[in-house]
Amino acid sequence: MKDNKATNNKSGFGTAAVYFTAISSILGAILFLRLGYASGTLGFWGTIIIILLGHLITIPTALAISELATNTRVEGGGEYFIISRSFGLKLGSTIGITLFLSQTISIAFYTIAFAESFQPLFAWLIERFGFELPRQAISVPTFLVLAYIILKKGTGSGVKLLYIVNALLFIALLFFFLGKPITPTIDATAVVAETDAALSGFKSNFGIHNMKDFFIIFAICFPAFTGMTAGVGLSGDLKNPSKAIPMGTMMATITGLVVYVIVVWKLCTSASAEELIADQLIMSRIALFGVVVIPIGLAACTSSSAIGAMMVAPRTLQAIAADGTFPFKRINQFFARGKGPTREPINASLLSFIIALIFIILGDVNTVAEIITMFFLITYGTLCLSSFLNHFGSPPSYRPRFKSKWFISLAGFLLSVWVMFMINPLYTILAYIVIILIYLFVEHTNKDQKGIVNIFKGALFQLNRHLQIYMQKHQAGMGDEEWRPAAICISTNSFKRDKVLQMMRWISYQHGFGTYFHLIEGYYSKQTHIEAQKDLEKLITTQKEAKGSLYIDTMISPSYTSAIAQVIQSPSISGMENNMVMFEYDKRSSNELNRILENVNLVRAGDFDICIFSGSEHFIHPNNGLHVWIREGDEKNTNFMILLGYIIMAHPDWKKGQIKIFIPSVKTELGTLKEDLARKIADGRLPITLANIEIIIIPEGETISQTICKWSPNAGLTIIGFNEHHIKHDGIDFFTAFDGIGDILFVNSGKEKDIN
């Protein structure tokens, strides 16, 4: 994937910029122009259902965006960048192009809606002169002025304007809530008190009616809720996107939900259904000084939303071009080019504004709203699906600081697709056809990038893993891009001690796969076959009771060495090659250790990672934490030990434990060793704090093994690296020098690992 250099310049905006960009889009044109119509047509509860259904899509999307944004270094391009780095360039660019179009059309939508704030002027001209002024007389000049400000002054001016218009927006809402119910016309035969009229209006509007129009109105109203992602588009201009995006997006989403519910209640208790339907600016008749403040509020929110869309859409196009999506290099360079230190997307803005201007001239609010709804639903469904597949696939590199739930993301995806079909099945099918055509175009021009098949790699791995274990329990007959353990273990002591079984369950719980072989030493015969089947049945029963995700089998072989040679050459049922061999021995049986060391070179020939589990007679206490000792000469083992510790800690048994890293040294001056290790852990998003990294100065006359025994006597598990030198020169003495502590996992990495 190409670097997104064109958009990786941050001007230092924070959470407030994300929040105000999003909330000004949420509390926008629909709130002032269409919520009254929805309330009058569907009633209070019908409109509340629209709001809740919309948020059942947008809240999972907001959670998914927050999650994905904290799992990677977010640069420019907002939602596009998040999708492309989660799904790969091909599908990311496909969704990015449709997202860019919907964001560009949003500019037109908000500008057209801005013109509606001049409704009193239009009405006065008709009444006084009989002249109907075209809406474009307001919308086109307004758009040109805003476009000039953005092009000339840049994003900073746009954000400053956002603060001003948001203040006006909230003032307008305050005056609306302070307003009184509309008094109906009083006839000669009946005089109804104002309070009785308000109560009568409340009762008549509080039901659910005209639900046949529900999804039509939903399509018109849904763009209001899409504003919650507007702030994500500023990702390239944020000082700390992984903090600002989750906080700003979620705060704006919740604020919008609360305000919409209260506004609907106020509308339904302040006017009759007929009045709500007939007057699109009904809020101006309810609000205190509404003739003035509501048009100002509408102008403020629509102009701020337009500004937000004008800042976001060009940055999406700029990021797409920076990734080399388009077939011609000059096109990519043209739209990826930025101006000044903040890389303002001038060229991308020009195309965005031309498209928006076309829709401003030709479109109306309702038509544009329906188009936006369809494209945003596709985008939101994709974001939710991305989050769900990452949850289900559980790749070790997926370590977001902000976590949602897989079922919330799945629900958001399914609801998005369902609502699209309910709004218009034909448009939905056409929209997906357009998506497919764009994808084929992107795939043709970017053949070397990840395709749609790669999206489901992690999910297919997990599905295969769970299916294989399920079939085994019921007696039914990844590559270099990212390391995950596929461990095998061979032991003759399955019924004497079970600690290594527990260790294998920890490793294979979420991020990896484990296969345990119970070895029966002897020649294959009818008798040994029957014995193996009985032992397998016992072990599977034990595995069921332990609720583990470990695959178990038996092996009959004349010797320990021949069994190892056979197993390391056999394919894994997980669908990925085995890459780790786990040996185990009891500390009290040194002869077992001799047998293991005799076979280490055999395993090393296949570049396997080697783990030697040294089990003590003590019970494992995970709450005491997991200690990792990184010594001089452990350069090749360091990342492997840290990753393995993280993978083990994912098991619920370790939920109250912590990883602690010790660096023993005879030197008193270690420079930036601790800071370098902490930076590596932070870049890998591993849950290890600086306080849990400790440098231990070895006292004079004390060996490293004595130091380790002194600092880790009660650790739940201690991980220590070893290499070829230790086996060749120290042999068994190296492994028996740590008898003062409990369970130890000695590890040797076949290849150096990357912490992604």
Q: What are the tokens at 513?
A: 């796969």
For residue range 174-185, list pLDDT tens digits in order.
Answer: 999 998 888 654
Residue 249 has pLDDT above 80, yes or no: yes
Position 658 in a domain: yes
Examine residue 461 and state whether it is found in any structural domain, yes or no: no
Residue type, 204: S
Residue predicted with more confidence, 273 or 195: 273
Cα–Cα dist 284/389, whole Å: 47
Beta bridge partners of 339: 344
Q: Is the pLDDT of residue 197 over 60?
A: no
Give the pLDDT band of residue 457 (cuts 50, 70, 90). Answer: low
DSSP 3-state percent helix, strand, coil across the chain (nearest 5): 65, 10, 30
Rounded to whole angstroms, how far apart are CA atoms 45 and 208? 6
Q: Which range (97-111, 197-211, 332-346, 488-502) has the least confidence?
A: 197-211
CATH (domain of 516): 3.40.50
pLDDT bucket at 2, cuts 50 / 70 / 90: very low
Tally of domains in the chain? 3
- pTM for the whole structure: 0.61
Query: What is the per-residue pLDDT for 135?
Result: 79
What's the pLDDT at 628? 93
- 675, part of any domain: yes
Say whether both 369 and 482 belong to one domain.
Answer: no
Query: Does residue 627 form part of some domain?
Result: yes
Lowest-pLDDT choice from 440-444, 520-524, 556-560, 578-582: 440-444
Does residue 198 surpass a pLDDT of 50? no
Q: What angle do CA 556, 561, 567 make, to 5 degrees?
A: 60
Top mean-pLDDT range of 181-195, 374-388, 436-450, 509-523: 509-523
**Is 656 found in the same domain as 566?**
no
Hey, which residues does 612 pair with through a beta bridge? 583, 746
Q: Report, as an integer, the average pLDDT of 22-32.
A: 80
The pLDDT assigned to 290 comes to 85
Asked if the model's pLDDT at residue 445 lies above 80, the reply is no
- Residues 439, 473: one domain? no
pLDDT at 608: 92
Mean local confidence (pLDDT), 85-113: 80
CA distance 419 to 215: 8
Q: Quote the tokens at residue 337.
A: 């080019």
* For range 568-574, the mean pLDDT: 77
**485/414 same-domain check:** no
Tell me, yes or no, whether 714 lies in a domain: yes
- Report whether pLDDT(56) > 80: yes
Q: Which pLDDT score is estimated for 68? A: 74
Average pLDDT over residues 431-441: 82
- What are the pLDDT digits (tens) for 346-398? 888 889 999 989 888 876 666 677 777 887 888 788 778 877 877 777 667 67
CB 13 within 8 A of CB 234: yes
User: Which amino acid is present at 510?
Assistant: Q
Residue 169 shares a structural domain with residue 57: yes
pLDDT score for 626: 93
Worst-scoring range by mean pLDDT, 94-103, 127-136, 443-452? Answer: 443-452
- At residue 208, the pLDDT reads 67
Do both 490 and 421 map to the same domain? no
Query: What integer best gives the mean pLDDT of the chain?
Result: 80
Domain containing 668 equals 616-756
Report residue 472's pLDDT band, with 50, 70 and 90 as the boundaries.
low
Under the banding of pLDDT at 50, 70 and 90, the label for residue 10 is very low
Q: In this prediction, what percent of the chain has a pLDDT beyond 70?
A: 82
Q: Could you tell me if 713 and 620 lie in one domain?
A: yes
- CA 25 – CA 349 distance, rounded (Å): 19
Assign residue 689 the CATH number of its domain: 3.40.50.12370
Classify 452 as helix, strand or coil: helix
Q: Give the helix/strand (H/E) hosting 242.
A: helix 241-268
Q: Do 439 and 540 belong to one domain?
A: no
DSSP states of 144-209: HHHHHHHHHH-HHHHHHHHHHHHHHHHHHHHHHHH--PPPPPP-SS----HHHHHHHHHHHHSS--
**701-713: per-residue pLDDT in tens?**
888 899 999 999 8
Confidence of residue 62 (pLDDT cuts 50, 70, 90): confident
Q: How confident is the model at residue 9 (pLDDT cuts 50, 70, 90)?
A: very low
- The answer to whether residue 587 sits within a structural domain is no
User: Residues 589-631: pLDDT tens digits?
Assistant: 777 898 899 899 899 888 899 999 998 887 778 888 899 998 8
The yes-or-no verdict on residue 272 having pLDDT over 80 is yes
Q: Which of 430, 445, 460 is the last residue of a domain?
A: 445
Torsion (CA) 601, 603, 604, 607 in degrees, nearest 10: 170
Residue 190 has pLDDT above 50, yes or no: no
Q: What is the pLDDT of residue 8?
A: 44
Length of the chain: 756
pLDDT tier at 75 (50, 70, 90 boundaries)?
low
Mean pLDDT for the stretch of residues 462-491 = 69
Q: What is the mean pLDDT of residues 623-647?
A: 88
Tell whether 437 and 553 lie within a shared domain.
no
Of 530, 559, 582, which residue sits at a domain end?
A: 582
Q: What is the pLDDT of residue 359?
A: 84
> What is the structure's pLDDT at 627?
94
More confident residue, 668 or 251: 251
Rounded CA-CA distance 229/92 in Å is: 16
Give the pLDDT confidence score for residue 189 in this predicted structure: 42
Instruction: Give the CATH number for residue 134.
Output: 1.20.1740.10
* Domain-located, residue 592: no
Domain match, 721 and 627 both: yes
For residue 47, pLDDT beyond 50: yes
Cα distance between residue 269 and residue 570, in whole Å: 73
* Amino acid 519: pLDDT: 93
Q: 407 and 355: one domain?
A: yes
Rounded-to-integer distance, Cα 242 and Cα 178, Å: 38
Higher-pLDDT residue of 143, 86 = 143
Considering only residues 579 and 681, tell me which one the structure prediction assigns the higher pLDDT: 579
Do residue 407 and residue 373 come from a single domain? yes
Do residues 683 and 713 make contact, with C-beta atoms less than 8 angstroms apart? Answer: no
State residue 1's pLDDT score. 43
Integer Cα distance of 613 and 582 in angstroms: 7
Instruction: Band the pLDDT of 722: cuts 50, 70, 90.
Output: very high
Residue 88 has pLDDT above 60, yes or no: yes
What pLDDT was estimated at residue 160? 65
Task: Establish if 118 belongs to a structural domain.
Answer: yes
